[in-house]
């Protein structure tokens, strides 16, 4: 057997906070298409997170058609058997761009987590340099630790959120979406308080965090990305009762508005803005070339 050709791309993640523009300039979806290879790219849309798959597909079919994409297809997964189907796995294996729609991230993971299709998505990103996008639930599912459910309160509350296993394209982070619009800072603070080894990423609507593996990050769209880092914090969370508000001291918060762009030192291409030292560890973590899981 001959060796596979080297990928022409490092592989990208386009992590969208939900409600991205699908009717006008389509800034985020246009960038997803560009990273996948342009209008000639083969793009597959996975609607497994949604119970209204046909309606969701119609919406993205029209948006990608407007962007000139001619090779676009719908993977409608209704069972784990579907996600282990050789035909569906083949479609992912041939895709340049794989896009996961919104809905319920728990449903998405229940259908595809640990399946052959899941493994093929990892291979597409890491071996072929494909582009994987996800919006809303599709964004939350990208990390190894997934925010499965949780209330949004004015203050952090111990025990008010729960995590589940995600797809694992990123590790040691947890992603929340619709962030500013649904006032979810307290929810992300709760996650970090209970799991201080995780960095929290909150992404606003019509905003995307783009991760290029081994290279850097970029924020595009209309809002911002909020990063919550509690790894050096002091907290009493282990000593208080459920539903109490923990004391959180020395929690770091970074705000990256659209237009922010940072690359790792030594990576190829224009370096852009000088990388602030507190962001170096975050970039090294989210851009890490993790082995196929």
- Tell me the pLDDT tens digit for each residue of 29-53: 999 999 999 999 999 999 999 999 9
Catalytic annotation, pick one of 12, 19, 145, 178: 178
> Is 281 within the bounds of a domain?
yes
> Is 3 within the bounds of a domain?
no
> Is 1 within the bounds of a domain?
no
- Confirm whether 254 is a catalytic residue: no
> Is 4 within the bounds of a domain?
no
Catalytic annotation, pick one of 12, 120, 136, 160: 136
pTM above 0.75, yes or no: yes
> Is 140 within the bounds of a domain?
yes
- Confirm whether 136 is a catalytic residue: yes
CATH number, domain of 220, equals 3.40.50.880
Q: Of 17, 286, 293, 276, which is closest to residue 135 (Cα–Cα)?
A: 17
> Is 60 within the bounds of a domain?
yes
> Is 6 within the bounds of a domain?
no
Asked if 287 contacts 275 with a C-beta cutoff of 8 angstroms, the reply is no
Domain range for 162 is 12-286
Q: Which of 147-161, 225-239, 263-277 has the lowest mean pLDDT?
A: 263-277
> Is 110 within the bounds of a domain?
yes
Looking at residue 1, its pLDDT comes to: 35
Catalytic annotation, pick one of 20, 205, 212, 218: 205
Residue-wise pLDDT for 124-175, tens only, equals 999 999 999 999 999 999 999 999 887 777 899 999 999 999 999 999 999 9
Looking at residue 271, its pLDDT comes to: 61
Q: How many domains does the chain have?
A: 1
Per residue, the 3-state secondary structure of 214-253, as one string, reads: CCEEEEEECCEEEEEECCCCEECHHHCCCCCCCCEECCEE
Q: Of 190, 95, 142, 94, which is closest to residue 293 (Cα–Cα)?
A: 142
Mean pLDDT of 99-113: 97
Cα separation, 223 vs 209, whole angstroms: 10
Cα separation, 95 vs 11, whole angstroms: 13
- Confirm whether 284 is a catalytic residue: no
């Amino acid at each position: 057997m001959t060796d596979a050709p080297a990928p022409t791309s490092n592989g990208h993640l386009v992590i969208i906070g939900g409600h991205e523009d699908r009717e006008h300039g389509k800034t985020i979806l246009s960038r997803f298409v560009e990273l996948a290879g342009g209008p000639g790219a083969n793009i597959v849309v996975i609607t497994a997170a949604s119970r209204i798959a046909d309606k969701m597909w119609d919406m993205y079919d029209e948006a990608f058609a407007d962007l000139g994409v001619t090779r676009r297809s719908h993977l409608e997964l209704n069972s784990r058997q579907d996600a282990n189907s050789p035909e569906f796995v083949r479609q992912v294996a041939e895709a340049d761009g794989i896009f996961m729609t919104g809905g319920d991230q728990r449903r998405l993971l229940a259908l595809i987590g640990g399946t052959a299709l899941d493994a093929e998505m990892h291979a597409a990103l890491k071996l072929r340099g494909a582009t994987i996008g996800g919006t809303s639930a599709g964004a939350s599912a990208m990390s190894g630790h997934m925010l499965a459910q949780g209330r949004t309160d004015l203050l952090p509350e111990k025990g008010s959120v729960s995590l589940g296993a995600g797809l694992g394209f990123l590790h040691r982070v947890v992603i929340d979406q619709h962030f500013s619009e649904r006032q979810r800072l307290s929810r992300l603070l709760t996650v970090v308080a209970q799991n201080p080894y995780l960095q929290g990423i909150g992404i606003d609507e019509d905003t995307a965090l783009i991760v290029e593996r081994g290279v850097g990050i970029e924020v595009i769209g209309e809002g911002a990305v909020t990063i919550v880092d509690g790894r050096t914090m002091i907290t009493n969370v282990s000593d208080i009762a459920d539903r109490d508000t923990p004391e959180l001291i020395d929690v770091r918060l970074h705000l990256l508005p659209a237009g922010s762009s940072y690359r790792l030192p030594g990576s190829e291409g224009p370096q852009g803005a000088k990388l602030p030292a507190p962001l170096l560890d975050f970039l090294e973590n989210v851009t890490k070339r993790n082995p196929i899981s």
